[in-house]
């Protein structure tokens, strides 16, 4: 899989909407994100695969709202939404701390190139990337993720996906994300796949030969 950085997104002043093929991109701060939480939860439900029961759907919605509230309290939280007549997509997240804390629980050693990008503050964690079905999903997803990372001058996006969420893994890989390995977070027993999205030709080249690079570990 090959990332495709620089897909012609226009840079605008902070908060100003941008338009691409009829889809407007708009930055949203943490307070507006909280005000939009029910609309975002509706988008979350529409973006998910069919769920087995109404009770499961309600629990899933509540879990999403809880995670969103946690994210909005993170330092540097940011969100970009895509709109037409209504919200058709959103991406949000926060900068990864330069001390490497985010990577604790990573299985094996962290690639030196990723470690260096983290130390320099150029890594941004995307915690939610939601796209409404049948809305040119690939184009909207790429625009959202690249706008969010560009606004924070990030060279590398990172996200976590549960091992059994195959639809999400397939979608992210089709949008340019690459597998990096596995991580086990201390908050629970779940193992997550770690996916990264390099932005810019220089970062792409740095990550091309991950298997050939030396490996290092963050201090425990």
Domain membership flag for residue 187: yes
Does residue 63 sit within a domain?
yes
Res. 3: pLDDT tops 50: no
- Asked if the structure places residue 12 within a domain, the reply is no
Answer yes or no: is 9 within a domain.
Answer: no
On whether residue 85 sits in a domain, the answer given is yes
- pTM comes to 0.81
Tell me the per-residue pLDDT of 150-180, one tens digit each, with 9 for 90 and over.
Answer: 999 999 999 999 888 888 898 899 898 999 9
For every residue of the chain, which 3-state class applies, written as one string? Answer: CCCCCCCCCCCCCCCCCEEECCEEEEEECHHHHHHCHHHHHHHHHHHCCCCCCHHHHHHHHHHHHHHHHHHHCCCCCEEEEEECCCEEEEEEEEECCCCCHHHCCECCCEEHHHHHHHHCCCEEEEEEEEECCCCCHHHHHHHHHHHHHHHCCCCEEEEEEECCCHHHHHHHHHCCCEEEEEEECCCCCCEEEEEEEECCHHHHHHHHCHHHCCEECCCC
The whole-number pLDDT of residue 16 equals: 46
Is 40 a domain residue?
A: yes
pLDDT one-digit tens code per residue, 71-94: 999 999 999 999 988 899 999 999
Quote the number of domains for the chain.
1
At 128 the pLDDT is 94
**Domain containing 192 — which CATH number?**
3.40.630.30
Residue 13 lies in a domain: no
Residues spanned by the domain of 132:
21-211
In a domain, 193, yes or no: yes
């Amino acid at each position: 899989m090959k990332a495709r950085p620089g897909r012609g997104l226009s840079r605008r002043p902070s908060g100003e909407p941008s338009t691409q093929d009829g889809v407007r991109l708009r930055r949203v701060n943490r307070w507006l994100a909280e005000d939009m939480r029910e609309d975002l939860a509706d988008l979350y439900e529409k973006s998910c695969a069919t769920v087995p029961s109404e009770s499961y759907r309600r629990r899933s919605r509540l879990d999403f709202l809880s995670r969103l509230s946690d994210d909005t309290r993170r330092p540097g939280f940011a969100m970009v939404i895509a709109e037409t007549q209504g919200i058709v997509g959103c991406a949000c997240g926060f900068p990864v701390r330069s001390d490497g804390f985010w990577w604790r629980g990573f299985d094996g050693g962290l690639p030196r190139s990723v470690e260096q990008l983290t130390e320099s503050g150029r890594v941004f964690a995307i915690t939610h990337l939601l796209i409404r079905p049948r809305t040119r999903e690939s184009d909207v997803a790429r625009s959202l993720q690249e706008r969010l990372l560009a606004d924070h001058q990030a060279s590398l996006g990172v996200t976590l996906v549960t091992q059994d969420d195959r639809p999400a893994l397939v979608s992210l890989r089709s949008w340019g994300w690459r597998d990096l390995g596995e991580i086990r977070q201390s908050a629970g027993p779940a193992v997550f796949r770690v996916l990264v999205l390099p932005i810019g030709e220089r970062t792409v080249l740095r990550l091309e030969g991950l298997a050939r690079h030396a490996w290092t570990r963050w201090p425990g």
